[in-house]
Structure 1
Amino acid sequence: MPQRRYCVTGRVQGVSFRAWTRDRALSLGLAGHARNLADGSVEVLACGGAEALAALEAWLRQGPPAARVEAVLAENGDEDPPVPAPAGFRVL
């Protein structure tokens, strides 16, 4: 199953970014997580179909109303060994 990791920078903490991301990911049928990082960014790991991942990435570039997204860095989540697909989508 395709997996992507995103790092979202800007005003993305303290604005419900992770909760909105969870809701959007679940509506797209994706699994994974969103978590705050110490540098003020949000990391998103998502697993699912290519079209759903593309839709999530487009949404991450906009974010919820209170957010101000500066950049979204995306990379394939292909790892050795591969990370198992998580169940559901969690806010960490």
Structure 2
Amino acid sequence: MYIIDWYAGMCQAITVIGLSRDSKKLITIVIRAEWIENFRVKLCYNPKVCSKIKTYFDKEETGMQRYTEKFVNDMFIGIPQWIEPLG
């Protein structure tokens, strides 16, 4: 699963790319941030995933310009703060 975007103001949801259970095709969906654990920043070398990321960000006015190293680092610093202890 690849985390590609977040909703910083809402602090509850993230946009991810992953494999569908049924079709085993790559899909882009929004899920709750608390469902993710053991995440880390890594480079993506999968050309299909890279293409999906580019398609996602090309829908915006700024395109891939927003998807910088600073954006990714800020996102991953913020996400652990969203997760509240269960119980």
| TM-score, normalised by the number of residues in structure 1 | 0.29
Higher relative helix content: 2
| TM-score, normalised by the number of residues in structure 2 | 0.30
Q: Which has the higher contact order (CA 8 A, sep 6+)?
A: 1
